Amino acid sequence: MCKTKKATDASEPRPVLSRSQRTRPSHSPGAQSSSLSHSAIPSSSNPTSDLYTSSSSYTKATSSGTGTSISSRTSLSSLRESLPENPHIYHVSEIRAATNNFLAKRYSSSSSASTAACWRCNLRGRDTVVFQRKFRHKIQTSQLKERLSVICRSHHMSIIKLLGASVSGDHIYLVYEFVEGSNLVDCLRNPRNPSFTVLSNWMSRMQIATDLAHGIDYVHNKTGLNLSIVHNHIKSSSIIVTEPSFNAKICHFGTAQLCGETEEEVAVETDTSKRETEIEEITEEANASSLRKLKRSDSGDRQFEGVRGYMSPEFRSSGVATQKSDVFSFGVVVLELFSGEEALKYRFDKKTGNFVRTSLMDTAEAATAEGSDGLRRWIDRRLNDSFPVDVAQKMIRLALDCVHVDPDKRPDMGRVAGKISKLYLESKKWSDNVNIPTGISVSLAPR
């Protein structure tokens, strides 16, 4: 059998070198392998490659050519490829070149309701999506690098991976991998055909709810980092649904930490700007006792990013994002997922001449109070009334617990993910039992 040059070099032992050409074996990491293969490591060569060569020679000699070395190196290679990559620090010139100096057509499918500018482009040979965001609070460069390093090393199948970032002035450009799919808004409410949805069965929506719950649970509890991570951008337009299994992936992971939207930055900023935001002049002595000094959070001047309908009450009042506010947003998305309706709707009342605000939380609460009949009317009609009612009741009740006014009474995402997994299995069992048999043909032609 013919051998290639590389195979010949790897299998044949190298000649023994003289004493002057040998390295000191006590300090060489490959000394043991060299003595076993009757060869030494030249001081002028690469110690790593020599170590692999001598180890492979010894393995071949002791295993009678079974190929153990090749399989082990293959498994190590596959393991190395599966590990998260180091974060990429992009120069702003790379971002400008990829986006045609930010004049390229903006990409909106991944987050149609996001206020951040977004472009789909190719960076360093990868299909990516770039989000331009403004720093809410300035972060030190060392702290930004540390956070970028730990966030980019996080990985979950329900989270779109952050590849790296670039900073230019007051803006940060977050580079995410591109995922083919459509956002949840378009899947639920197609503007061209409102009566159609690709999520036409119960299991497709349970799959999305399960993926979201486990993805947010990973963000909150299972990253393995010494960093309390808050997502702060959970909404239906930031969720990508992929085919063919209708798996859900969450966008904007790490944005809150890298843009200075977390509680730590808000507290620091409030303390440092206290003198500027306090009202110290009181014109009326009579009302002096009833007036108090107003901090920035009370003055109404605080600017923070949020989408109406997904913001918890405490987030609307303070602008501070917490994990409990993420749980609230998740509950709203679940209600939206199973009803097919928007989180907030405004309809015109002809009698009063005013617009009446309708919230999904209010309608869901009223539907559950009416029992199974009310719930069946509330669930998306495009499911054709084909779903396990008992599971639907538990799902909606769990979502209402997530949107509780008191943040302390909202469940932890670990508990939520466990309950939804159990409900998913119950739904799967129901789906298997009511599955319509295939292979039956029906003909309406005359016999």
Give the number of domains in the chain.
Answer: 1
49 in a structural domain = yes
pLDDT level of residue 318 (50, 70, 90 thresholds)? confident
431 in a structural domain = no
86 in a structural domain = no
How much is the pLDDT for 222? 87
Highest mean pLDDT among 60-69, 131-140, 150-159, 197-206: 197-206
How much is the pLDDT for 303? 47
Beta bridge partners of 413: none
Mean pLDDT of 293-298: 38
Angle at 184 between CA 178 and CA 190, to 5 degrees: 115
Task: Answer for the pair 392, 379: CB distance below 8 angstroms, yes or no.
Answer: yes
174 in a structural domain = no
How much is the pLDDT for 183? 92
Report how far residue 53's alpha carbon sits from residue 248's, in angstroms, rounded to the nearest whole number. Answer: 45
Q: Crossing angle of helices 202-221/413-433, nearest 10°? A: 160
Mean pLDDT of 271-291: 35
Q: Which tokens sit at 308?
A: 């109406």
The Cα diameter of the chain in Å comes to 104
Q: Of 359, 121, 118, 438, which Cα lies nearest the Cα of 255?
A: 118
Mean pLDDT of 275-298: 35
Q: Which tokens sit at 207?
A: 């799959």
81 in a structural domain = no
Instruction: Report the phi/psi class of residue 55: left, alpha or beta, with left for phi > 0 and alpha for psi in -120 to 50.
Output: alpha
50 in a structural domain = yes
Choose the weakest-confidence range: 83-92, 268-277, 340-349: 268-277
How much is the pLDDT for 81? 57
Give tens-digit pLDDT for 174-191: 999 999 999 999 999 988
How much is the pLDDT for 338? 97
Token pair 């300090």 in the structure block, residue: 27
DSSP 271-322: HHTHHHHS------STTTTT-----HHHHT-------TTTS-HHHHHH----
Q: Of 324, 341, 185, which Cα lies nearest the Cα of 251?
A: 185
60 in a structural domain = yes
Identity of the residue numbered 245: S
CA 279 to chain centre: 41
Q: Which tokens sit at 196?
A: 């159609």
Choose the weakest-confidence range: 142-146, 189-193, 261-265, 423-427: 261-265
Mean pLDDT of 203-215: 97
Token pair 């039992």 in the structure block, residue: 433
107 in a structural domain = no
Q: Of 375, 413, 420, 367, which Cα lies nearest the Cα of 395?
A: 420
Domain hosting residue 56, numbered range: 36-64
Mean pLDDT of 31-48: 40
